[in-house]
Amino acid sequence: MFRLRDREMSRKIIDKLERMSLDLTLMHVCGTHQDTLVRFGLDSEFRRIGIDIRQGPGCPVCVTPPGEIEEILAIARAGVTVAVFGDMMKVPGEKGSLNDAKADGADVRIVFGVDDAVALAKNNQKEVVFMGIGFETTSPTIAAAIRSDPPTNFSVLSCHRTVPPALAAIAEMGEIRLHGMIQPGHVSTMIGTRPYEFLSEKYKMPQVVAGFEPLDLMMGVYMLANQVRDGRAEVENEYSRVVHREGNLTAMKVLEDVFEPSDVLWRGFPVINGSGLSIRKRFETHDARSRYSDLLASVHEKEFSEVEGCRCGEMLRGILTSEECPLFSTGCTPANPLGPCMVSREGSCHISYRYRKKQAVR
Amino acid sequence: MCLAVPAEVKSIDGMMATVDFGGVSRTANISLVDAKIGDYVIVHAGYAIQLLDKEEAEKTLELFREMLEQENAGA
């Protein structure tokens, strides 16, 4: 359904890009973009013609810092039912993962979406905590569930983060010289294209919002290359069949009703101001941090460090690729991951491991 | 995580809709979009998050072709 996979057109785009003799470094912030790039061999094809595309902080599981992993582990180990997206199960904490906690008797459930967790609470007398992770694609759905009068035994541990402040942090930190950014299509269905405009104004950053089919990404890269060639820094929209400048106003209103911005850590980054989403006081019955404040106090007192040798942080800032990590596919594999970039199916290491033998389609 | 898939709305019951992912039927929460039967929506984690403009989708390849031709003229 709506597959954009036209071989002739792909070849035409690559040929045109090749004739431009490019030397560009681009960044995207989306696990699904990384999947398309690697699965179809586009990343190596782009590299061949002078375009290096890095995955930035675009994997929600990966950017969740160790302290928040410890929060959900503490809640699970205290006997509370926790519901999580499947990718969270293997993320290593200081003393094991949620999988380990489950093996030790904790009640940990994998859910497909927040409504499954609400249903679990409705059908269960026990307390249920849903770990809310994800960017603006996901957070409005969690806000909608919180607003829909869920049972009082349902609460959310909000680990949500917003994309634009992280993009600004990347630009501000200046560790990597970027010629353009490919913005995430589905985050953009919600927030629209307007929240990216300041990056073009302040940092002269060329940007294209792109979809997830191979041709979407190829056209996105082509549009960025043209912006660079023409000396333009604008927000262009390749994914116009779904993304509009204003986004989904209903969803954003629901989001703002339930959450307020907060200053939070991202794995690999310092605290990024205004990049977190805390549940507003009005909904504190459903805020796991408020509900379990005593239980979480000991977690909040401690500082948690990364697993020794894990370089996910550098990958999330785009300054290292998975293959450059000495542990990649040797000491760290999907079966025995050391860090979240190898745990999550959206992490750059997991994706590289999954597809690395694939060659370009061309 | 941000994976979202297009589906056609087949029937609506309050906030919930039955949607068809090219042969596979599922329910999706449609409280965040203004969808009606026959619309295509993008579904993420059990929620429809946006309507898909079918005409725009069908035009996409044509738009790409035009863009590439224009660039040809200028290059």
What is the per-residue DSSP string for A104-159? TT--EEE-SSHHHHHHHHHT-SS-EEEEE---TTTHHHHHHHHHT---TTEEEEE-
CB contact under 8 A, A215 and B44: no
Label residue B75 by pLDDT band (50, 70, 90). Answer: very low
pLDDT average, residue stretch A128-139: 97
CB contact under 8 A, A135 and B3: no
Nearest CB to B44 within list A16, A186, A243 = A186
* Residues 16-75 (B) with a CB less than 8 A from some CB of A: 21-22, 29, 31-34, 42, 44-47, 49-54, 56-57, 60-61, 64-65, 67-68, 71, 75
Domain-by-domain residue ranges, chain A? 61-162+247-300, 312-361
Chain B contact probe: residue of A16, A141, A142 with most B CBs at under 10 A:
A141
pTM as predicted: 0.94
CB contact under 8 A, B1 and A184: no
| CA gap A224, A207 in Å, rounded | 7
Q: How far is B53 from chain A (nearest CA, A)?
A: 5
Among chain A residues, CA nearest to B32? A251
Please give the pLDDT value at position B8: 94
ipTM reported for the complex, 2 dp = 0.90
Is pLDDT at A351 greater than 90 in this prediction?
yes
Please give the pLDDT value at position A125: 85
Residues 6+ apart with CB under 8 A from A7: A361
Label residue B13 by pLDDT band (50, 70, 90). Answer: very high
Architecture of domain B5-74: Roll (2.30)
Please give the pLDDT value at position B64: 82
Cβ pairs bridging A and B (under 8 Å):
123
Q: How much is the mean pLDDT over chain A?
A: 94
Q: What are the Cα distances from residue A17, in Å, to A47, A210, B63, B64?
A: 11, 17, 18, 14
**Do B24 and B50 contact (CB within 8 A), yes or no?**
no
Among chain A residues, CA nearest to B31? A144
Strand partners, A28: A55, A182
Among chain B residues, CA nearest to A255? B32
Label residue A305 by pLDDT band (50, 70, 90). Answer: confident
Q: How far is A201 from chain B (nearest CA, A)?
A: 25
Nearest CB to B71 within list A16, A134, A140 = A16
Residue B50: how many CA atoms within 13 Å on its side-chain side? 30
CB contact under 8 A, A189 and B49: yes
Domain-by-domain residue ranges, chain B? 5-74
| CA gap A116, A183 in Å, rounded | 29
3 state SS of A282: helix
Is pLDDT at A2 greater than 80 in this prediction?
no
CB contact under 8 A, A189 and B57: no
Torsion angle of alpha carbons A345, A348, A353, A356, nearest 10°?
120
Residue B68: list chain A partners with CB under 8 A: 9, 12-13, 16
DSSP string, A221-269: HHHHHHHHHHT---EEES-TTT--TT--HHHHHHHHHHEEEEEEEETTE
CATH number of A61-162+247-300: 3.40.50.11740
* Residues 3-22 (B) with a CB less than 8 A from some CB of A: 3-4, 6, 15, 21-22
CB contact under 8 A, A115 and B75: no
Residue B64: list chain A partners with CB under 8 A: 9, 215, 219
CB contact under 8 A, B75 and A16: yes
pLDDT average, residue stretch A348-357: 87
Cβ burial, residue A149 (10 Å; 0-12/13-18/19+): exposed
Among chain B residues, CA nearest to A133? B1
| CA gap A44, A3 in Å, rounded | 22
Token couple for A292:
């379990």
Nearest CB to B45 within list A1, A141, A250 = A141
- Interval A207-242: pLDDT, tens: 999 999 999 999 999 999 999 999 999 999 999 999
